[in-house]
Each structure stands twice: as C-alpha cells, then as structure tokens.
Structure 1
Amino acid sequence: MKAKVEDSSRPPLREIRVIIGGISIGQSSKSRKTYLKVVQNVQLLGRSLRTRGADEQAITFMDEDAERVHHPHDDAIVITLLIAEYTTRRVLVDNGSSADILYYPAFQQMRLGRDQLRPVNSPLVGLGGMKVQPVGTITLLVVVGAYPQQITKKVNFLVVDCSLSYNAIIGRPTLNSWKVVTSTYHLSVKFPTEYGVGQVQGDQLAA
C-alpha cells in the first residue's frame, strides 16, 4: 500500500524570516530608506528598470570546470588578484560580506602609507557579534582575470588590523559591480567582459 501523500495545499504554520542586522558602510538612514522603496517597487513590478543589453553573455559552469577540483569538498573560493599592481594571493570571495576588506599586513606589504587612509566611523560586525573598528578606507585599482578576459576597476577597501588567514576579502559590493557569478562546487568565479566570459579558478590548496 502506498504511503499517503500529504496535502501540499495545507497552509504553513508560520513563516521564518532570514536573520538580518548591521548596516552597509557609508549608507545613511535616508539612503537606506530610498533603496528600500526602489527594491519594493521592483518586487511589485516583477522586473528591474535596468536596461538589458542585447549582447549580454550567458554564464554557465560545465563538468569540465570541476575537473581540477577534488570532490567532495567544503572549501572556500580563494583566488589571486592584482591589487595596486601587487599580485595578491589568498583573497577570499565572500558572497556574505557587505564590505571589501584589505587586511593591514597586506596593506603594509603594498608600501601604502597610513596617510592615504580615509577615516571611517562604522565598525564591522562579524557573525559572532564581535565589532572591529577599521583603520580606515582606501580606494585601490584591482584587476581580475587574465588578459583579454579581465576587468580593471577601482575598489573601496576597508583596512582592518587583525589577524586572519586571508590578505583580502572581496564582498558583495565588488562582486555585484563585476557581475560575478560564483560556484562553490567548481571553486570558480566567472564574469562578463568585452572579450568574452572571464574566469578565475580558486586555489583549493590555499583554501
């Protein structure tokens, strides 16, 4: 006898929402309210007002993209970027970070002076609730990908003086700016460029 199939039309008991908190660096209360109205409008319309280019490229991941990755794994995507003309290894790609972070030891190795830092008042709040006050913020030129499928853009980094395994973290502000698509399974990131889809493979050993 077949097991009785539960009625899927039965209403749920309650709704469990996501955990949220903190504010994005540099956002005032007024700008957040304006942004909220725009998002609500997009939800109502069912589409964004962003114009879609006719030459937009489809970004896909194939089985071949995972051939050089050991499976199963739960490794993070750790890549190498060119930051301020320095080859910078151990850069974490973090979709969960609302900021782009450069750790102070890497900042020092780039021979950048503290006088180049701009002050910032908003602390970073980690998952454990611990607050870290950034040393400052700095705008640096970053290159991702290999020529000619590469992107060169300025990134606003928060410089943080604390001990961590990474030299930098690339978060949502830059990932969205680059239109990056990430795949943790493939340990890879892909992004559109004028010369086709660019790709950076994560370093599984570093991860």
Structure 2
Amino acid sequence: MIVGGTTTSSSTKKVRKTYLRMVQNVQLMGLVLKMAHINNPVIWFIEDDARRLHHPHDDALVVSIRTRDYNTHKVLVDNRSSTNILYYPAFQQMRIGREQLILTNAPLIGFRGTRVYPLGAITLLVTVGDYPHQITKDATFLVVDCSSTYNTILGCPTLNLWKVVTSTYHLMIKFPTKYEVGEVRGDQVAARKCYIAMLEMDDHLQTMR
C-alpha cells in the first residue's frame, strides 16, 4: 500500500478534515450529492471468468497495458495505493527525457516503510483493453527511482476515475467503454514471478546488511 503523492500533498490539513466530515455525513445520514445519470453498462463477474487460473491462489493482479507507444508488462493493479507509480527503469525504456518531468516534493510512504521522494510527475496516454472494448485516457504517474519487480502501479485515483472494477479472485479488471464492457485478464505467471523476484530481492538485502 502506497500512501502520499500529489493527490494528498496538495490538500491542506483543514481540507482533509472537511473531506472526512463529508464522508461521515454520507455514512451516518445518507446525505450525498446528486449525480448525473449515466447509462453505463452493468459490470459483473461469473465463474467462467476464473478459467485458466490455478486455485486456490493469493496472487496479485498483474496486467499489461499500453503506455504512450509502448506495451507495458508487469503492471500491478493496486486499489489501495493513492497514486500511480512508474519505476525509473521503465521510464528510461520509454526514452522520455528527464526534462519532461514536473518536479514535485510530494513524499511517498510504503516503500519498505521509508519515505521516498519521486523524481517527478509525468502525464502519459494509457490504453487499457483490446479494440474496440478499450479505453484510452491520460494518467499521471510519479516516477520513482527504487528497485521493484513491477514496471508500473495503477493506483486508486485512476481506477476510480475510469470506473474500473477489480476482482482478485478472477484476476481480472472490467470497465465501461463506448462499446459495452472492456476487460483485461491478469497474468498469473507474471504475478508469481514478480513475487518470487521480490522475495529474492529481500533476501539479497538482508544478506548485504
């Protein structure tokens, strides 16, 4: 779970407390702002969506997306993280100059319990899904220079904005598109390889210490 980033750092303590009170009012009194009706398709999962998976499992939801003009693999879908993360090695492979990064002093907490300061923020065009059941929208990433087995993390703000529904049991995400519901299946093999590589990284770190 990654906490911090541009979403939280840009708000003052007073604003955060006001937001908390609004949430409490909704929970306790049912007071909620009226939202415009949008005719979105109904999204659901069925048992057949879990085919070709090893069960039982506790694997992470790891997918592939298209970022800018590059197919990006080992993308962790994490609806507990407060921001999108693009790890620096993946950023370098996209051949984007560091001068395009927007400097930010927003610290992140969650990388081995320490504070990490991003190199900067960048907005990239992201495509999720296969044509015609796909969405192509801008997403802002914080570029982080630290070791990880993942290339990218898609966090809660973007998932909510795109109305993405995740199922860890089915290892799948679904989302409304212009042409009904789009979907992306998670890569269970990639998820387990990332997990094993992360354990090996931890073992190496302990040995170094």
Scaled to the shorter chain, the TM-score interval is 0.7 to 0.9
What residue in structure 1 maps to residue 97 of structure 2?
113
Note if 1:145 corresponds to 2:126: no
Deviation at 1:106, TM superposition (A): 0.5
TM-score (norm 2): 0.83
- Equivalent residue letter for 2:70: Y
What residue in structure 2 maps to residue 129 of structure 1?
113
- Equivalent residue letter for 2:82: S
TM-score (norm 1): 0.84
What residue in structure 2 maps to residue 68 of structure 1?
52
Note if 1:55 corresponds to 2:39: yes
Deviation at 1:55, TM superposition (A): 1.9
- Equivalent residue letter for 1:35: Y
Cα 1:69–1:50 change in 2 (3 A) is farther
Deviation at 1:50, TM superposition (A): 4.4
- Residue pairs, 1:1-207, within 5 angstroms: 24-46=8-30, 48-53=32-37, 55-126=39-110, 128-207=112-191
Distance in 2, matches of 1:31 and 1:119, equals 23
Q: Unaligned stretches of 5+ in structure 1?
A: 1-20
Q: Deviations over 1:136-161 (max 9, x none)?
A: 11111111111111111111100000
Deviation at 1:42, TM superposition (A): 2.5
CA contact (8 A) 2:4 2:83 kept: no
Instruction: Give aligned pairs, total.
Output: 187
CA contact (8 A) 1:25 1:99 kept: no
CA contact (8 A) 2:127 2:137 kept: yes
Larger helix fraction of residues: 2
Cα 1:97–1:186 change in 2 (3 A) is same
Distance in 1, matches of 2:137 and 2:34, equals 21
| Bigger Rg over Cα | 1
Aligned alpha-carbon RMSD (Å): 1.8
Shift >3 Å, 4+ stretches: none
Cα 1:163–1:177 change in 2 (3 A) is same
How much identity, in percent, do the aligned residues show? 59
Q: Unaligned stretches of 5+ in structure 2?
A: 192-209
